[in-house]
Every structure is written in C-alpha cells, then in structure tokens.
Copies of this chain bind each other. A is one copy, B any other.
Amino acid sequence: MIQSVAFIGLGAMGYRMAAHLPKHFDTVYVWNRNFEKAKQHSIEYGTQAVDLKQAVQADIIFSCLPTSKDVENLIAGLELKAGSIWVDCTSGVPESAKQLAEQLKLQLVSFLDAPVSGQTIGAENATLTVMIGGDETAFNQALPAIQAFGKLIKHVGASGAGFAVKAVNNMLLAVNLWSVAEGFTTLKAHGVDLTEALDCINASSGKSGVTENVLSQRILNRSFPLTFALPLLAKDTGIALNLAQDVKLPTPILSLTQNLIQTANLTAEADADFSAAVKLYESWSKITIS
C-alpha cells in the first residue's frame, strides 16, 4: 500500500500532474528548486512543500525535470528509503535510465523511466499517456499512483524502454513536422487551398499528429505557442538517433530529420516552440505556410 508520494520538479507539466495526487493520497510531498513554486502548489492543492531530503522519503517519488542529466545530478547526493520507487517522468536518455536503475538497486530502490505525452492539457485533465520501462513488479506497485494523472499507462519493456519509446515518438513528430512543411509549401506554391487540402489529408493515409493538430493549431494560424520548446525536440531527436547508432542501425530519414531539426534549433530565435522549426524552411522557400 502506498502511504506517501512525492513530486519533484513543478514545471509546466509537473505542477499540473502533482495537482491530482492529493485526490488519491493523504501524504503528498512536493519539491522544486525554486521553492516558492512548491509553497504555492501546497496552498493551491493541499500538498506539503518539504525539503528534498524529506520528499525522497516517500513510497513513490515522481520526478519531472528537463533532462536526464538533471535527474542524475539530483539523485547523486540523496539517501533513499529501501523499498521505495522512483518514477522519472522526464523525457530522458535510455542509457541513463539503465544506469540509474542499477545504481538505485544498491539502495534497494526501483527506478522506472516513465515519460509522458499529452501536453499541459493532458496533465490538467489527468489524461496523459505514460510509457514505462523498468522492473515489472515495481511498475505494478507504482501503478495506482501513476493512474492519478495517466490514462493510457503501458509497461513497454526493461529499463530505458520508456525513454526509448518517447524519443522515437518525438522523432516521428519531427519527421512529420518537417515533411508536412515541405509538402504543404509545395502545394501552396502551386496555388492549392491549404485548408481544404488539410481536410482531405486528415481523412486520408498521409495524416499524422502534425496534420491533425500542429498544423492548424500552431502553424497555419502563425501562433507558435511555446508549450514544447524546440531545443527539447532537438534533444529528443538526438536521443532517438543515438539509440539507432548504439545498435549500428542505418536510419537515413531519422538522421536527416535530426540534422534539419538541429539546424532549425541553431538558427531559431530564443524561446521558440518546436513548431517554429518550420520557420527555417520558410526562410529557404520564401513561402509562408499559412
């Protein structure tokens, strides 16, 4: 039985994910580097803002940080409680998950890599998808806590598998983002009505998350709202590519996509949403996707 849970890292996602925990558990610790946010969370949702040392004494410890490096640094100095489970919702590096799982095992702690998808709206509505790698027993034990914010929750394999699936998902997002930019620019250059074309493609075999959501909500309306930063997408494509290279797989399309997204990131303005990667292509074609 889970007596206590903790949530570390109250960013745009984490803040909303942690908000659901008090509905299911009596003791919910929260911690954040900028501690004001933790205090605000406790006031808003009835969680307990405690110091890190205390937070990690919970039965289930969630973390949601920008990168695996941040998680490694955080865990480095901590003493954990034997029998607890660390559920890391960062979009992280599979190799890091394997090492952290090995390392925490020595303290008799389980580590699950449990990245989420569904964006802030999914975090708010507790409808996130959670893809989880690691020990299956620990997965089953942590499941009730994960269900507080997750809807589709899958155990996809051993340590690192969760991060791997997330990285490949985001790589496919990147592939579609860029190829839709090329395709729709081509259509526009030929005088095609993009809105009508989009309707057709969304009812056809070429559809994707990008055509169904990103194109109309972020690009065609020129809003590019910053909800998932371009540097993070660039990082994720790099993680996916490294996965392929680790096993010596040739991946021509993923490699080229990673190069293009990396170029978009290098040439983007500050605080660019991932969808703004298409602006690099627009600077080449001199055609605005709208």
Contacts and interface: CB of A to CB of B under 8 A. Distances in A.
Interface of A: 94, 117-118, 129, 131, 133, 152, 154-158, 160-161, 164-165, 168-173, 175-176, 178-180, 182-187, 189-193, 196-197, 199-201, 203-211, 213-214, 238, 240, 243-260, 262-263, 266-267, 283-287
8 contacts: A152-B199, A156-B192, A168-B184, A169-B200, A171-B179, A171-B206, A179-B254, A207-B209
Contacts of A286: 266
Given A157-B191, A259-B252, A186 B244 contact: yes
A165 B213 CA distance: 18
B201 A168 contact: yes
Contacts of A180: 172
Number of copies of this protein chain within its complex: 4
A201 B165 contact: yes
Contact of A175 (B118, B214, B253): B253
Given A204-B117, A284-B250, A155 B209 contact: no
Given A190-B160, A252-B252, A259-B252, A183 B204 contact: no
Given A200-B156, A209-B207, A257-B253, A179 B172 contact: yes
A260 B189 CA distance: 19
Most buried by B among A187, A203, A246: A203
A18 B189 CA distance: 34
Contacts of A184: 168
A180 B156 CA distance: 17
Given A169-B201, A243-B186, A256 B252 contact: yes
